[in-house]
Amino acid sequence: MKQLLIAAHGSRRESSNDELKALVAKVSANLGVAFAGVELAFLEFASPSIESVLVDFFNGKTTEVVVLPYFLSAGNHVVQDIPREIHKVLDQWPDKKITVLPHIGALDAMANVIVEACKNDNH
């Protein structure tokens, strides 16, 4: 059973975390049958943590997790912090599989998102 984990920074501002929850609900509605579900986790300032969500997954029936780092650039959070959280869990669950996608800012589709937003701008 495969799960998607969206790994975000987290904010002291509750409305920012709520924005992410709304995004995850949209992803969930469109994710299709390849994934059993999608969960959101945070590095800082909000819960649940990445580690705790991964542990919950692996205590259940999940055998594989795909992690999407919801960050615009490859800073320390993407390069060091998320991999560190993942390796902490894999050390305890060596038979499980965790794949990390490119951070969202690195996806080719981002340029198209900007172009389309400009086309939809009627001002």
**Amino acid found at 115:** V
Pick the closer one to a copy of itself by CB: 74 or 88.
74
Looking at 45-53, 54-62, 86-94, 106-114, which segment touches a copy of itself (CB under 8 A)? 106-114
Is the four-CA dihedral 23, 29, 34, 36 of positive or negative sign? Answer: positive
Based on CB atoms, which residue is closest to a copy of itself, 69 or 89? 69
Q: How many Cβ atoms from other residues are within 10 Å of residue 106's Cβ?
A: 14
Backbone dihedral angles phi then psi of residue 9, each to the nearest 5 degrees = -70, -50
**DSSP-based three-state secondary structure for 42:** strand
Should residue 33 be labelled a site residue for a copy of itself when binding is judged by CB under 8 A? no
Q: Which of 60, 72, 87, 92 is close enough to bind a copy of itself by CB under 8 A?
A: 72
68: contact with a copy of itself by CB under 8 A: yes
d(CA 13, CA 18): 9
The two tokens of residue 16 are 């920012």
Q: Is 66 in the site for a copy of itself (CB under 8 A)?
A: yes
The residue within the footprint of a copy of itself, chosen from 26, 84, 87, 88 (CB under 8 A), is 26
Compute the least distance from the CB of residue 21 to a copy of itself, in Å: 11
